Amino acid sequence: MEILNASLVNWSRAQFAMTAAYHWLFVPLTLGLGVMMAIMETNYVRTGDEKWRKTAKFWQTIFGINFAIGVATGIILEFQFGTNWSNYSWFVGDIFGAPLAIEAIVAFFLEATFISIMFFGWNRVSKKAHLTATWLTILGATLSAYWILVANAWMQYPVGMNFNPDTVRNEMTDFWAVALSPVAVNKFFHAVLSGWGLGASFVVGVGSWYLLKKRHVDFALKSIKMGAAFGFISFILLAVTGDGSAYQVAQKQPMKLASMEGLYKGKTGAGMVAFGILNPNKQAYNDSIDPYYFKIELPKLLSLLGYRDINAFVPGINDIVDGGYTLPDGEKALSFDEKKERGQLAIQALANYRKAKQEGRDADAAEYKNTLQENYAYFGYGYLKTGQDSIPHVPLTFYSFHLMVIIGFYFILMFAIVWYFGHKKKMESAKWLQYIALWSIPLAYLAGQLGWIVAEVGRQPWTIQDVLPVQAAVSGLSTGNVITTFILFATLFTLLLVAEVTILVKQIKKGPEI
């Protein structure tokens, strides 16, 4: 039996987090810039204005650089499923495999087919055919994102499956429950819109750089005006889908919501923290230390967001661990200890089932299988020792969430101002705003990363919510192996990032052919 230690688990988690974070540097710009260049090309086809064609071609070149550098970085994540998370892969393979396979097929057939026409076909196919290819390329990329997010959403809210103790796999019983999970649908819109927002900030920022350099002024103003409108709408819709995310998280992952808000003691009519500083001295959920140094709360907002009722009870971390509060369906919430007991029953039933099957005791096996299925919903709790083990890293989740929201509202304001200045033809002379727009580009990237930190750190200790914690999911490799591959990946991705930034900057400095 391999020796499992905290170091192995944490390095494995760190490696996946690092590779996912790098991957998410490339994807949002593909999604956002892709739509924007398609809109610009649509303008060209509608108006026949050559300036729109050259504008679209420039942003398409930028799109191409980002796409080429970023392509296949997601495959690194799949490598890790098979090597570092083998128990997880086997356990969920029947569920996870389907959306990933669809993603690969959609990506291959749509993107790969039409991207070639998009890049090679400017003077070889008609305007409308080329435009169709452009839209189909970005549609392919967006649909790819959908299927990846279906897979991730299932980790947050596992549905549509039945655990088979003979194969030790979760088997899909309802494809549509998985594919159209409300968590998946909301996550898709939220993630894609974050890409649109990032794309818009990139276009506006780069356009502002051209204005600062007093180069390609007409091109820059066109791009900025479009980018500002697109960005403003995207970030408004992000706030709407963010509201949807909060609702889903409250229903399906109440511990994540409590961590996002640093809420230890539940409240009726709970307010949402607009700004706050957590007390780093609070180490355990059940100590008497005040979790906050300071906070500004918007009254009743958390209850409204989470339960669509300003007077709803929002459970805190302590309530979720201690149990006993009333759930939205009227049932009493189980305590951590009760869930742990059921989890241990389920795991023991699995062990007994295996033994009974090996010994040919079919009647006993049927009984154990029944016990397993009755308690399967809490399977993962059987691996945890104390209530503290069921709580994510509160400060990281809290600060990531709040900083992401602050950046989101910042961009709504920034794009509104840029849109206004563009509309009033004042953008060219507003140097201060050009600097703000340019230096806002990294903030859009930061917001995207923070969102994923909330999603994934907030889900800890689970790889599959309530069913499989990280310590049961990880492969029994040597920690040294994982540290080696961590360093290899960090090196590879850093080189790719340096290549991307170098090539992008060079191309931006070269400018459009206008």
Partner 1 sequence: MDTKLTQPAKKFNWFSLFWEGVTHMSILGKTLWIVVIIKLMVMFGILKPFFFPDFLNSKCQNDKDKAAYVIEQLIDRTNHTP
What is the contact surface with partner 1 in residues (CB under 8 A)? 1, 3-6, 9, 61, 64-65, 68-69, 71-72, 75-76, 79-80, 82-84, 86-87, 89-91, 116-117, 119-121, 124-125, 165-169, 344, 347, 350-351, 354, 382-383, 385, 469, 471-472, 475-477, 481, 484-485, 488, 492, 496, 499, 503, 507
In 85-216, which residue ranges form alpha helices assigned H by DSSP?
86-106, 113-120, 127-156, 175-179, 182-212
- Shortest reach from residue 248's CB to partner 1, in Å: 28
- Cα–Cα distance between 216 and 207 in angstroms, integer? 9
- Cα–Cα distance between 451 and 70 in angstroms, integer? 20
Q: Is 436 helix (H, G, I), strand (E, B) or coil?
A: helix
- Shortest reach from residue 168's CB to partner 1, in Å: 4
Q: Considering beta carbons, is residue 163 or 210 the nearer one to partner 1?
A: 163
Smallest Cα–Cα separation from 317: which of 392, 251, 386, 384?
392
How far does Cα 84 stand from its chain's mean position? 21
Preceding peptide of 291 cis, ω within 30°: no
Which whole-number Å values give the CA distances from 214 to 219, 362, 428, 436, 503, in the listed order? 11, 81, 9, 16, 22
- Shortest reach from residue 131's CB to partner 1, in Å: 15
- Shortest reach from residue 90's CB to partner 1, in Å: 5
Q: Considering beta carbons, is residue 68 or 289 the nearer one to partner 1?
A: 68
Q: Considering beta carbons, is residue 69 or 204 the nearer one to partner 1?
A: 69
- Shortest reach from residue 102's CB to partner 1, in Å: 21
How far does Cα 11 stand from its chain's mean position? 21
CB 59 within 8 A of CB 203: yes
Smallest Cα–Cα separation from 196: which of 308, 429, 36?
36
Q: Which two tokens stand for residue 469?
A: 């914690």
- Cα–Cα distance between 421 and 415 in angstroms, integer? 10
Q: Considering beta carbons, is residue 15 or 400 the nearer one to partner 1?
A: 15
Q: Considering beta carbons, is residue 240 or 351 the nearer one to partner 1?
A: 351
CB 95 within 8 A of CB 170: yes
Q: Considering beta carbons, is residue 42 or 344 the nearer one to partner 1?
A: 344
Q: Considering beta carbons, is residue 396 or 497 the nearer one to partner 1?
A: 497
Q: Considering beta carbons, is residue 93 or 395 the nearer one to partner 1?
A: 93
- Shortest reach from residue 61's CB to partner 1, in Å: 7
In 458-478, which residue ranges form alpha helices assigned H by DSSP?
470-473
Q: Considering beta carbons, is residue 121 or 323 the nearer one to partner 1?
A: 121
CB 135 within 8 A of CB 159: no
DSSP annotation of 332 reads: B
Smallest Cα–Cα separation from 378: which of 441, 334, 424, 431?
334
- Shortest reach from residue 409's CB to partner 1, in Å: 36
Preceding peptide of 442 cis, ω within 30°: no
- Shortest reach from residue 347's CB to partner 1, in Å: 6
- Cα–Cα distance between 328 and 333 in angstroms, integer? 10
Q: How many CB atoms lie within 10 A of CB 377?
A: 16
- Shortest reach from residue 301's CB to partner 1, in Å: 38
Q: Considering beta carbons, is residue 201 or 460 the nearer one to partner 1?
A: 460
Q: Considering beta carbons, is residue 1 or 363 the nearer one to partner 1?
A: 1
Angle between helices 431-439 and 441-457 (to 10 degrees): 30
In 317-426, which residue ranges form alpha helices assigned H by DSSP?
317-322, 336-358, 362-375, 394-423
